[in-house]
Structure 1
Amino acid sequence: MEQGSENARRKLHKTLKPSWVFAIALGSSVGWGAFILPGDWIRDSGPLGAIIGLGIGALILMIIASSYGVMIKKFPVSGGGFTYAFIAAGKVWAFICGWFLSLGYISIVALNASALTLLLKFLAPGFMKQGYLYSVAGWDVYVPEILIASVLILLFALINSTGTSVSGKIQFYFSVLLVAGVVLLGFFTFSVADQPLTNLQPFFKGNQSILTSVLVILAIAPWAYVGFDNVPQAAEEFNFSPRKATMLIVASLFTSFLIYAIMIGLTGWTFPSLTAVGTGDLWLTGEVVRSALGIGGLAVMAVAIVMGIFTGLNGFFMSSSRLLFSMARARALPNFFRTMTKENQTPVWGIWFVALITLPTPWFGRQALTWIVDMSSTGVSVAYFFTCLAAYKVLAWNKEKAGREIAPMKKFLALIGMIASGAFLALLLVPNSPAALSTPSYILLLAWAVVGGIFYLAIRKRYNSLTQEETEYYVLGKTIESEVMDTTDEPKKDDRVPLFNASS
């Protein structure tokens, strides 16, 4: 066992309020896609097909959220999928899950930073299309978008380095503005429409079955709602009972669905047909709002989009830095990732590492960045699977066993969550599925796996230098499966009991 204060288990401050955690989940789940993509979804599935698909997706993710609630309640520590994969399957799978999950979180930071430039290209194309540099995969790169995205990344890195007492508070205010903007847009577009329900027709895409219309949108649900899983990354910083986590996650998913439904609805119900405001490659939802409500409506929408972008940046900066911190605490990453500020116990180097990694991404062009985000969705789905598997293992059907909670319904939901997570992975990885990865995404996925394998070989000796019991202590804060916890910051050699034995 390692000795000394340098090797003591480092802990985060408990500063997050329930409303802040709800805002982290909601703001991370709803980003630019809720405002930019409804026109595409309507063309692919029809308005009702898109709403049903996202509604079923939200229900499935609520089932998965039940497992997150179980794990947060039992192990209120940071790490999320990394921690739960360790509990479910051991060190190697924990590293694999953490490796791909970290890429997913970091790439979404980069994607949110570039999303603001999309909005500005629509609102101020003359300004944004100055200083042409080059094209990447058909995407023209200009100087203003690089500068704006870079400033955003640095700004939110600075905000997060001050601690969750600041970042959590602004996340709440940003989320309030986001919800208010969507409600106003939905109310006024419905009010000005002559026949809103008639305008929504056809409800489904005419040249395909209703089932296909629904499945096309259901396939993107993990991407549409990614962000609710930021809650377990913040679990160590709750200043309230972790029992509330399930309710907060489910409430955030339901609210996220309502936001998606309203934005799809107003895109379809405001005018008799999509051609009323023009077609082509224009931003359809933006054109609908501008045509119906004028510059005032567009201004409200712009504020809502900016809030969605800001909450995504803020939430994923927090979650990615906490994931890196947790992996470093388990010796799966270099020590500097667990370095914290003395004043507010914030993993500051993880935050600035995320900034350093994402700063070059605006230079690659948005199309190349979407390839990374698409393939990193597999990491999120893998984390869903291991979370459900871990919950399944720590729960009992109807008989007390090794301190496990008797909760047959939650255990059944965990089983359903595993199946759903496997289905989401299949939709991403099986060729010809509605959400199959593009060829560039497959190549990047393979490349990231190879890099991960090389990195694992480099750190394997250090990572495995801790015993199973010691790793349990650093990852979970305890090594005894009962809820009895030692008051010291180091485990005692004579009372360590493995959290799970080989037969579990």
Structure 2
Amino acid sequence: MSDISAPPEPALRRGVTGPGFFALAFGTIVGSAWMVLMGEWVTPAGPGGAVLAFLGMTLLMVPVAAAYAELVARVPRAGAEFVFVEKAFGPWPGFVTGWFLTLYFVGICAFEGLALSWFLENLVSAMAGWPPLYSFLGKSITALDLGIGLTGAVVMTLLNAAGAKVAVGFQKLVTFAFLAASALLVLIGFAQGDPANWQPLFTPAHGGSFAGGMFVMLGVAGMWLSGFQTAASAVEERAPGTSFYTVAKAMMLAVVVAAIFYSLIIIASAALIPWRDLTSGALPVAAAFDQALAGGIATKGILLVAMASLLKTWNAMHLSATRVILAQARAGFLPAGLAHVDAKSGAPRRAALLVGGWTCLGVLAGRGAISPIIAMGTICTTAIAAVALFALMRLRTVDKSEGRPAFILPGGQALLMPVAIGATIVASAAVVAPFGMAAGMPLEIWLMLGWLALGIALVVGQRLWSQPPAQLQVG
């Protein structure tokens, strides 16, 4: 039974400044996918088409980031899309949004744990070849996989349980170190590369039309330019004097810098070897840079850069998942204990521990879970972004009595409507895609339906538990 006389929870500690918001946003957009997926990026429309797709999609994603900044200014509470949708459309639409947002964040945390062990195996060959402990979803899981993934989950949990000051401080350190290392990689690529390797610049690797390849790549670019939303999760913890305009600039700048990074690393990699060679092999970027730096130095260096990038994405996702769980507990959807904020650190430690526990369960599922995790993450993040934009339209009509927010998306409804339509198209493609690759109901759809059922059961169960017992009638 809930105690109505309990004192209010302490506030989240404020201390996140503009560089911290940028580090959260950029650190989530750019993870380690660029090293693994380069071949898939240049295949549909050549390296030139891939660059055009990332730069072109920036024209959509920057306004989306600005729209999120307006949402943050209108609803400056932890929880990001959950609190936006809850205020715009009501509690249950908010909960469904927040619950699937939780699935996205926790799923990516588990993905990072699984990817970390794979990178380490490639970095240190002696780590490969461990005997499997068991198999799940068609993939073997070794003690090394579990040891690295679970250790990473514990470290990230402790980091976030220490509070936003510690977690965001780590985020800034790794993000700006990553940018410096990336600049060095790009310089090496341009210095050692040959522009002739870019040709043919706009031709699909395996035939087909350039227009069709560009359509595919625009969807891919939209996915890999997403993630700036994690900055919105920390808005309640912004430092005194850090304005909503600063938060907006941080999110928009993160999208632009990420698009520039992707474009430059594509061009640099394709300059080092004939770009069609990037379409084969597990680590195409490392293979390309090995042409410039003999002896495998490039592979080890790039793996270290990718691992650092992975850690910053993992940290930002853990922080965001923690805030979304906190927000759902505050609203009464999850147990009230998850809304607890530690008085000393100003951190929602119980929520951080829950995220860590769920991450460990994902790691236990092994690498066979990577494909459904990515598919579920794509569906969740694209669909939730579209819903958030329609929530902004709604809030603009119902929030007029609350005055003008501190930041407003430039261009008004004339810009917001086509941006929302564009985001809806991208989301629809993400939802439909799994059905085109599976004979029956795709596994990720079953998993998402099961997650929804679990969420509803948790809400109903905890509300029944928190109700005071009915008084007996004595006649």
| Superposition TM-score, scaled by structure 2 size | 0.89
Q: Does 1:204 align with 2:203?
A: yes
Give CA deviations for 1:114-172 in whole Å, capped at 9, x if unaligned. 21222223222332321322343443322212111111110111111111111111111
The aligned amino acid for 2:195 is P
Partner of 1:245: 247
Q: How far apart are the structure 2 equivalents of 1:391 and 1:197?
A: 47
> What is the CA distance between 1:273 and its match in structure 2?
4.5
Q: How far apart are the structure 2 equivalents of 1:97 and 1:233?
A: 14
Secondary structure, aligned partner of 2:65: helix
> What is the CA distance between 1:7 and its match in structure 2?
5.8
Matches within 5 A, 1:50-65: 50-65=50-65
Secondary structure, aligned partner of 1:16: coil
Matches within 5 A, 1:8-87: 8=8, 10-87=10-87
**Structure 2: unaligned runs, 5 residues or longer:** 469-475
Q: How far apart are the structure 1 equivalents of 2:441 and 2:312?
A: 28
The aligned amino acid for 2:386 is F
Distance 1:140 1:51, change over 3 A: farther
The aligned amino acid for 1:244 is T
Secondary structure, aligned partner of 2:157: helix
> What is the CA distance between 1:29 and its match in structure 2?
1.1
> What is the CA distance between 1:296 and its match in structure 2?
3.5
Q: How far apart are the structure 1 equivalents of 2:3 and 2:134?
A: 54
Q: How far apart are the structure 2 equivalents of 1:460 and 1:427?
A: 36
Q: How far apart are the structure 1 equivalents of 2:45 and 2:140?
A: 30
Distance 1:210 1:92, change over 3 A: same
Q: Does 1:255 align with 2:254?
A: no
Partner of 2:419: 417
The answer as to whether partners of 1:82 and 1:323 remain within 8 angstroms in 2 is yes
> What is the CA distance between 1:9 and its match in structure 2?
6.0
Of 424, 446, 451, the match for 1:448: 451
> What is the CA distance between 1:431 and its match in structure 2?
5.1
Which of structures 1 and 2 has the larger relative contact order (alpha carbons within 8 angstroms, sep 6+)?
A: 2
The answer as to whether partners of 2:342 and 2:348 remain within 8 angstroms in 1 is yes
Q: How far apart are the structure 2 equivalents of 1:285 and 1:325?
A: 39
Secondary structure, aligned partner of 2:204: coil
The answer as to whether partners of 2:19 and 2:172 remain within 8 angstroms in 1 is yes
Give CA deviations for 1:239-286 in whole Å, capped at 9, x if unaligned. 1112222111010011111221122222211123544x8x74432111
Matches within 5 A, 1:275-314: 275=277, 280-294=280-294, 295-314=296-315
> What is the CA distance between 1:196 and its match in structure 2?
2.0
Give CA deviations for 1:86-140 in whole Å, capped at 9, x if unaligned. 1221111000000100000011111111212222232223323213223434433
The answer as to whether partners of 1:192 and 1:292 remain within 8 angstroms in 2 is yes
> What is the CA distance between 1:222 and its match in structure 2?
4.5
The aligned amino acid for 1:328 is A
Give CA deviations for 1:313-350 in whole Å, capped at 9, x if unaligned. 11011110011011111111101211121212100011
Partner of 1:89: 89
Secondary structure, aligned partner of 1:430: helix
Q: How far apart are the structure 2 equivalents of 1:30 and 1:265?
A: 17
Q: How far apart are the structure 2 equivalents of 1:199 and 1:222?
A: 24
The aligned amino acid for 2:449 is L
Partner of 1:343: 344
Matches within 5 A, 1:390-469: 390-395=391-396, 401-403=400-402, 405=404, 409-430=411-432, 439-459=442-462
Q: How far apart are the structure 2 equivalents of 1:455 and 1:327?
A: 12
Q: Does 1:371 align with 2:372?
A: yes
Q: How far apart are the structure 1 equivalents of 2:319 and 2:168?
A: 9
Q: Which moved more, 1:297-306 or 1:424-433?
A: 424-433
Q: How far apart are the structure 2 equivalents of 1:68 and 1:77?
A: 13
Distance 1:220 1:289, change over 3 A: same
Distance 1:68 1:129, change over 3 A: same
The answer as to whether partners of 2:12 and 2:347 remain within 8 angstroms in 1 is yes
> What is the CA distance between 1:461 and its match in structure 2?
6.3
> What is the CA distance between 1:6 and its match in structure 2?
2.6
Distance 1:197 1:27, change over 3 A: farther
Q: Which moved more, 1:168-177 or 1:450-459?
A: 450-459
The answer as to whether partners of 1:182 and 1:262 remain within 8 angstroms in 2 is no
The aligned amino acid for 1:85 is V
Partner of 1:184: 184
The aligned amino acid for 1:394 is L
Partner of 1:325: 326
Q: How far apart are the structure 2 equivalents of 1:169 and 1:327?
A: 26
Using the aligned pairs only, state the percent identity: 21
The answer as to whether partners of 1:45 and 1:217 remain within 8 angstroms in 2 is yes
> What is the CA distance between 1:4 and its match in structure 2?
5.3
Matches within 5 A, 1:112-151: 112-151=112-151
| Superposition TM-score, scaled by structure 1 size | 0.84
Give CA deviations for 1:347-379 in whole Å, capped at 9, x if unaligned. 001111111111132232223233033123322
Q: Does 1:234 align with 2:234?
A: yes
Q: How far apart are the structure 2 equivalents of 1:463 and 1:266?
A: 58
The aligned amino acid for 1:439 is P
Partner of 1:266: 268
The aligned amino acid for 2:415 is L
The answer as to whether partners of 1:150 and 1:362 remain within 8 angstroms in 2 is yes
> What is the CA distance between 1:231 and its match in structure 2?
1.0
Q: How far apart are the structure 2 equivalents of 1:431 and 1:373?
A: 12
Distance 1:114 1:3, change over 3 A: closer
